[in-house]
């Protein structure tokens, strides 16, 4: 296994040496490394990457806003998105039942499901 890794590293080193021997003198002479077609492909790739990055940023911002609104509206007792309540003394707040979950005290406020 060690021989395989050493061989791979040797091949990568040799490839880098060949590229350096060809690319560095060509660059010093003022020649571009890529052909005009290659430059065009790189420009398109940069543009697509920037578009994807912009869209991802917009989606993340919208998701953050929705989560913040949901947490702020669902928090009992005026809690903020950070979890702190006004005038909190550092003690853990009492657990309140979630509006999405029915109360489990067996009262008549939750209608029983009927089998059809």
Q: Are residues 29 and 1 in the same domain?
A: yes
Q: Are residues 29 and 41 in the same domain?
A: no
Tens digit of each residue's pLDDT (9 = 90 or more) over 90-111: 444 555 555 555 555 555 555 5
Q: Are residues 17 and 41 in the same domain?
A: no
Predicted structure pTM score: 0.35
Is residue 86 assigned to a domain? no
Q: Are residues 20 and 39 in the same domain?
A: no
What pLDDT does residue 10 have? 98
Is residue 64 assigned to a domain? yes
Q: Are residues 18 and 42 in the same domain?
A: no
Q: Are residues 29 and 43 in the same domain?
A: no
What pLDDT does residue 89 have? 47
What pLDDT does residue 86 have? 47
For the CA atoms of 52, 56, 57, 61, the dihedral, rounded to the nearest 10 degrees, stands at 160
Provide CB contacts within 8 A for 23, sequence distance 6+. 33
Sign of the alpha-carbon torsion through 83, 89, 92, 98 = negative
Is residue 89 assigned to a domain? no
Determine what percent of the chain falls in helix, strand and coil, rounding each to the nearest 5: 60, 0, 40
- Domain range for 44 is 34-73
Tens digit of each residue's pLDDT (9 = 90 or more) over 39-97: 899 899 999 999 888 888 888 888 888 888 888 888 776 555 454 444 444 444 555 55
- Number of domains composing the chain: 2
């Amino acid at each position: 296994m060690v021989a395989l890794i050493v061989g791979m590293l040797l091949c990568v080193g040799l490839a880098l040496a060949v590229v350096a021997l060809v690319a560095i003198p060509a660059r010093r002479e003022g020649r571009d490394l890529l052909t005009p077609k290659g430059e065009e492909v790189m420009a398109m790739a940069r543009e697509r990457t920037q578009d994807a990055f912009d869209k991802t940023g917009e989606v993340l911002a919208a998701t953050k806003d929705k989560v913040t609104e949901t947490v702020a509206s669902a928090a009992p007792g005026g809690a903020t998105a950070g979890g702190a309540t006004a005038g909190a003394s550092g003690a853990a707040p009492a657990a309140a039942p979630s509006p999405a979950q029915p109360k489990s005290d067996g009262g008549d406020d939750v209608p029983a499901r009927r089998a059809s």
